[in-house]
Amino acid sequence: MIVGLPGTGIGGMFYLLSALALPLREAIGRVRDRGHSVGWRVVARQTAIAGGILVGIWVTGLLLGAVLGTVRSHMAPGTGPHEGNAVRTAMLVLSFGTLAVVLFGVELLRLCLHRRTRLVTPIEPGSAAETQWPTERKVAVVGGGRGQGRGLILLVLLEIGTAAHPRTAVSQHGSVAAAGLARADSVFAAGDAKAAALAYAAVLAADPQNSRATYRLADLRRRDPKEALRLFQRYVALEPSDPWGYLAVADMLARLGRYHEAMQESDTALRLAPNERDAVMGRARVLVRAGRTDAAVVAYRQWLATHDRDPEAWREIARELVRAGRPGDAAHALERAQSQAFDPDVARRLAAVRAAAAPAFTPVVRGSRDSDGNTTLRLGGSAELSARGPTRMGITASREQVGDGFTTTGLDAVAVNATWRPRASLKVEAAAGAARFDGAGGSSATMVPTGAVRARWRAPARGPAFDLRAERSVIDASPLLVTNRVVRSELRGIVELPVAGGLKLRALGRAAALSDSAEVNHRTSFAGVVAFAATPSIEVSGQVHQLRYAHSSSAGYFAPRFAQIVEAGTYVEFEAGSVLCALDAGAGVQRVAAHGAHVGPWRRALRLYALIAVPLSPGLDLRLELDGEDSQIANETVTSGQWRYGSAMLSLRWALP
Amino acid sequence: MTVIVPAYNEAPSVGDTIRSLLGQTVPPHEIIVIDDCSTDGTGAVARALGVRVVRPASNTGSKAGAQTFGLRYVRTPLTVAIDADTVLAPDALERLLPAFDRPAVAAACGFVLPQRVRTLWERGRYIEYLFAFTFYKQVQECYGKPLISSGCFSMYRTAQLRAQGGWSSRTLAEDMDLTWSLYQGGHEVRFVPEAVCYPIEPRTFTLMATQLRRWSHGFVQNVKLHWRGLLTVPYLRSAVAVSFWDATVAAALYLVLLPILALLFASPWVLLGYVIDAPAVLVPVVAGAIRRGELRRALASVPAFFVLRTVNALFFLRAVGAELLLGRSLRVYEKGH
């Protein structure tokens, strides 16, 4: 087969230059003692042919010039014969230029496609790979460009230097790639991931289309999701019918937070292998990473409907059911997993989940003291019924003593609670009860109905969130407040919008009516928060709060006309062993304007909340909460204009077997 | 060495092929004719000449299929593949053998010249071969990278051939596919101009068109298949690139630009561009012809070369359009001659 336009085209020019360069190549080859040599006789013959062709070209040009000159002089007497020279020169330059561009393009393409893989190839002294680096540098020099003609000559010289170079050739051959692949596989099987990655990279340097090496290398680089994604995508391009490639791409995309693309890749994998476990489970796992807990549960359930003897699937759905607030169902799933393949770690998880689902009793003791000398002590407890499905019921009761060093009073509270979590993203809590104020100063005890409804919704995949609450409760921070039967009825809403990455905006609005036996006061407050979640358990924020009271009050709470708070806050949650710690702290400034007075100066405002949860044994959890404020106007229970406050609460949740 | 001869309805020519093999100065260990379910008695002709004839259960569909089928019967370190319409110069095998003294050599091919030089198409092919095998292929050999180990006559190291899985049917140019695979496998390929073979070339346009269609599509298919791997093979990458350029852009310019310029300038002189390189072509042709004592035949055949070259350009351009632009890959192997 003869390809192209034999004789003409840039092919002719290429072989002409190649032939003219043969003596040089042969000389270099003999100096370097290369194995392949065609001998001076052949070289001389080919060079002579090339010389003959040059003479032929020259004669052709001469004849062409003469013909054109003659034609021209006949048609337009007086014009010179020089146009023939111009045409010949233009043709020559065009041919050389085109050849140079094509050859340069090939070298550029080679550098683009093969350089990256070579960069990761281990280079041994004197190895074939080592000899390739100077080649690339030479091409880079050519790329620097001092004219196409010169570049062309350099390219041809480069080819002379590299063509048929045995060491270079050996580095590129497929059987070496095959042998390299076998070596890489054995290193991989031996568990040496670092050496295996180098070995697979070497295989790819020799054979960039080796799909097996591509997949393995990607697999070994999962810790670098971007690089792994690039390699897995390349694998998919090489093996477009392999669903596992799409699954791996989906996994990497999910790790990078590109959930929509990840789902598309998962769907492709599922289309290619609809009944394949890895495809179904892979899709479910992408849903998990995307935070789409409900969809993930559905995906796992679909698989388990026909493959109920898959302990891994049971374990994974159990984890999602816990996230969805369904410990009862999670316990059932883990029991199924354990019945098929016992795992001690899973046994511990099962015990914890059973405890979370079991009926429980939680005694609580809470005490507080503020800078005005008010103290409170609450003793109480709650009982939860067994969690079945999305609903959980319970009851709370407490007795609280409130004193200020001179007066002591108290109140009792009881409420029935219900929690309904139909979906992972939606949680509704409701409570209904009553508070009974002790009689004071000859008056009889008073009963006040209380209650609360709260709905929380958070979109999957860390989307926007809403928190709405309606509440009626008593204010019990001081004996005066209890005596005056101050009751707060409040509507509260929080909207959270993710912006980009971990950045989110939060807006809070509250409207409350504070009523007592003598009057009703109204308070409104707004807040804006810019928060950045560095990780799901670490958040920093900047907050601005503003609140207003309709009028001042003599019922026992501090009701300024206007108050502003600017603070920086942080929330950190971490686990030390099995102990969970959470810290919510804020530091800033605030200013207050009392009714009928000017706005006061900015003063410091500090707050701290800490939680420590210690699991003592399966089903027995100790919980300690600490709260402190140093603030002019921390919250509605502030009893004076300069206020400090501290409280501690200890509870022990005891799950009944 | 073992010679395998794939044959489908080659009764008129396979006898000459076998006789030329039997008359070699270094006779092969065995000659195996793969009768690819011929219907014209090819197997009987071959059997009558005393060679081994093997027959697959059904037609393999391509020369590559038949050759690979035959490879399973080879028990020698070297394998020669020769077309059933090709005859060898008496010393062709002897001339090829030294190429395998170098362990890295996996394939070697010889000089190809048409067996018959009578019609326009045969003459055009004669000049084409004379030019290319005297100049292009020899230069490629000097750089250690002959573009193709010709399918009509080549010798291979059997182990390397088996390692490649024999000849692949994934393209219509199995010889090019194998050669480029061998290069990418780090092996060497040699061109030995002293080892001469004489295939029967298409004598009519219909046969020539069938062959050119197969070759042109095969070339584009191989470029599509191997381009990444070829980038790692020095010199070959450049040779393939310029060939591809000439088969695409240059062919388009050659076929379209020259007539347009002629019309634009209203000058028939522009059409001289079609033969402007005649002196350059003549130099290697004359050099090759003189060595073979065929100068008169060569000079008489030169005009046919320019006709064939134009037709060749048309077919390559069409193949590029079909394979790369329209995505219509030719898959049916049509026997050209």
> What pLDDT digit, counting tens, does each position of A136-185 carry?
322 222 333 333 444 444 444 444 444 433 333 333 334 556 777 777 77
Looking up tokens 């048609």 gives A75
A45 to chain B nearest CA, in Å?
9
Task: Give the burial class of A80: count Cβ atoms within 10 A of its Cβ; 0-12 exposed, 13-18 middle, 19 or more buried.
Answer: exposed
CB-based contact B277 A19, cutoff 8 Å: no
Read off the pLDDT band of A225 (50, 70, 90): confident
Read off the pLDDT band of A123 (50, 70, 90): very low
> pLDDT at position A1, please?
64
Q: How far is CA A603 from CA A85, A590, B258, in A?
A: 92, 5, 89
| pLDDT tens readout for residues A124-145 | 333 333 323 222 322 222 333 3
Is pLDDT of A80 > 60? no
Q: Which residue of chain A comes nearest to B113, CA vs CA? A: A1
Q: How far apart are CA B84 and CA A208, in angstroms?
A: 38
Q: What are A150's two structure tokens?
A: 């010169």
Is pLDDT of A91 > 50? yes
Q: How far apart are CA A632 and CA A591, in angstroms?
A: 8
Q: By the 8 A CB rule, do B44 and B55 touch?
A: no
Is A93 an 8 Å CB contact of chain B?
no
Q: By the 8 A CB rule, do A386 and A357 touch?
A: yes
A267 to chain B nearest CA, in Å?
27
Q: Per-residue pLDDT averaged across A14-40, rounded?
A: 78
pTM > 0.80: no
CB-based contact A1 B134, cutoff 8 Å: no
Task: Give the burial class of B264: count Cβ atoms within 10 A of its Cβ; 0-12 exposed, 13-18 middle, 19 or more buried.
Answer: exposed
Chain A residues with CB under 8 Å of B278 CB are 60
Chain B residues with CB under 8 Å of A168 CB are 234
A525: left (phi over 0), alpha (psi -120 to 50) or beta: beta
More confident residue, B270 or A378: A378
Q: By the 8 A CB rule, do A611 and A623 touch?
A: yes
Torsion sign, CA atoms A352, A353, A359, A362:
positive
A252 to chain B nearest CA, in Å?
26
CB-based contact A14 B238, cutoff 8 Å: yes
Q: By the 8 A CB rule, do B37 and B59 touch?
A: yes
B242 to chain A nearest CA, in Å?
5
Is pLDDT of A191 > 80? no
Q: Which residue of chain B comes nearest to A107, CA vs CA? A: B231
> pLDDT at position A543, please?
93
Profile chain B (337 residues) by mean pLDDT over runs of 10 residues. Answer: 93 92 92 91 91 88 88 90 94 93 90 92 92 91 91 91 82 90 88 93 90 90 86 89 87 82 79 79 90 89 89 88 79 63
Residue A439: DSSP 8-state: P
Q: Given B104, B229, B309, which is nearest A6 (Cβ)? A: B309
> pLDDT at position A193, please?
81
Q: Per-residue pLDDT averaged across A480-505, rounded?
A: 89
Q: By the 8 A CB rule, do B333 and B214 touch?
A: yes
**pLDDT, mean over chain A:** 81
Q: Helix axis angle, A148-162 relative to A82-119, nearest 10°?
A: 50
Q: How far apart are CA B133 and CA A2, in angstroms?
A: 10
> pLDDT at position A146, please?
37
Chain A residues with CB under 8 Å of B187 CB are 173, 175
Residues 29-88 (A) with a CB less than 8 A from some CB of B: 35-36, 38, 42-43, 45-46, 49, 52-53, 55-57, 59-60, 64, 67-68, 71
> pLDDT at position A502, please?
81
> pLDDT at position A636, please?
55
Q: Per-residue pLDDT averaged across A434-461, rounded?
A: 86
Is A1 an 8 Å CB contact of chain B?
yes
Chain A residues with CB under 8 Å of B222 CB are none
Which site among B188, B238, B275, B301 would you substitute to test the A interface, given the most A Cβ atoms closer than 10 Å to its Cβ? Answer: B238
Which site among B232, B233, B320 would you substitute to test the A interface, given the most A Cβ atoms closer than 10 Å to its Cβ? Answer: B232
CB-based contact A110 B231, cutoff 8 Å: yes
CB-based contact A18 B186, cutoff 8 Å: no
More confident residue, A431 or A387: A431
Chain B residues with CB under 8 Å of A8 CB are 246, 250, 254, 276-277, 309
Is pLDDT of A78 > 60? no
In sequence order, the β-bridge partners of residue A418 are A393, A430
Q: Per-residue pLDDT averaged across A578-589, rounded?
A: 91
CB-based contact A102 B228, cutoff 8 Å: no
Nearest partner of A578 among A627, A625, A626, A621, judged by Cα: A621
Q: Which residue of chain B comes nearest to A38, CA vs CA? A: B142
Return phi, psi of residue A547, to 5°: -140, 155
Q: What are A594's two structure tokens?
A: 């009392």
